[in-house]
Amino acid sequence: MKSPLISYEHFPGDPFKNWIPDDETKGAFEVLKWSYETFGDSIIYACSFGAEGIVLIDLISKVKKDAEIVFLDTSLHFKETYELIDRIKEKYRDLNIRIKKPKLTLEEQEEKYGPELWRKDPNLCCFIRKVRPLEEVLYGIPAWISGLRREQSPSRAKTDFVNKDERFHSIKVCPLIYWTWEDVWNYIDTNKLPYNPLHDQDYPSIGCAPCTAPVKEGEDLRSGRWQGFNKTECGLHISGRILK
């Protein structure tokens, strides 16, 4: 494995810090080119196959057509999400799309913690089914790509293009920080990209089926996630531990 030019241990800060991109991808294309030049085959895109994910897959395929993409399959996603992944695999045949499952099956989780853990302790459920699997994927990997956008939530508003990721001891590259929700859909429409049909049924943000509800007009785009809980993130984008 080629040594990356920057690493978690020697993170010099975001090399794009003072750059105001004015190209049509708002810097995403340049940041992706830099990422694959810097980290080569050692960078992974952890994709949830939401609308931002589709944009990133298309942009990544233009920079590195055999890039590695990982989907964290909790076994609880909507059937529409699994169908979309099949369509994406068909369209981008050279991409290396990998499915990563948690160590515990749903049955084993139920045996250990009782039925529907997501209703009792969604943090623990996310930890077992998303955070731990991503830890396993990123073990020994210097950098990963995420589709975070600054306008998504206050906790994402200060995201840089290149971030020191304390949670996973890695570098997290976020090429879409300047994209608006409208930009995302303009790109999908202009390029006629496949997307999850649930987006047309008032599901702007799509995660696991038990924890995702449609949103009403004017509500926050992520307000359909973990309704009834004081929880807005699955833990992949939070520094430090999410478990007590």
- What is the set of active-site residues? 234
Of residues 143-202, those binding ligand SF4 (CB under 6 A): none
Burial of 238 (0-12, 13-18, 19+ CB in 10 A): middle
Q: State phi, psi for 69 to the nearest 5 degrees.
A: -125, 135
Of residues 88-117, those binding ligand SF4 (CB under 6 A): none
Beta strands in 124-180 (DSSP E): 143-145, 162-165, 170-173
Residue nearest to ligand SF4 (CB): 208
Stretch that binds ligand SF4, among 34-42, 60-68, 92-100, 126-134 (CB under 6 A): 126-134
Stretch that binds ligand SF4, among 7-15, 123-131, 149-157, 215-223 (CB under 6 A): 123-131
Entry field: residues in the chain: 244
Stretch that binds ligand SF4, among 35-43, 121-129, 160-168, 191-199 (CB under 6 A): 121-129
Q: For ligand SF4, which residue of 61, 74, 196, 205 counts as binding (CB under 6 A)?
A: 74
Q: Cα torsion at 220, 22, 189, 46 (round to 10°)?
A: -60
Q: For ligand SF4, which residue of 45, 118, 168, 203 counts as binding (CB under 6 A)?
A: 118
Residues with Cβ within 8 Å of residue 111, at least 6 apart in sequence: none
Q: For ligand SF4, which residue of 60, 126, 145, 188 counts as binding (CB under 6 A)?
A: 126
Of 153, 146, 154, residue with least CA distance to 221: 153
- Does 237 bind ligand SF4 (CB under 6 A)? Our answer is no
Contact 44, 174 (CB under 8 A): no
Nearest-angstrom CA–CA distance, 244 and 242 = 7
Residue with tokens 């799509």: 206
Structure tokens at 190: 């202009």
Structure tokens at 85: 């992944």
Structure tokens at 149: 């956008």
Q: For ligand SF4, which residue of 50, 53, 122, 224 counts as binding (CB under 6 A)?
A: 122
**Shortest distance in whole angstroms from residue 215 CB to ligand SF4:** 16
- Does 71 bind ligand SF4 (CB under 6 A)? Our answer is no
Q: For ligand SF4, which residue of 76, 193, 213, 242 counts as binding (CB under 6 A)?
A: 76
Closer by beta carbon to ligand SF4, 107 or else 182? 107
Contact positions vs ligand SF4 (CB under 6 A): 74, 76, 118, 122, 125-126, 129-130, 207-208, 210-211, 234
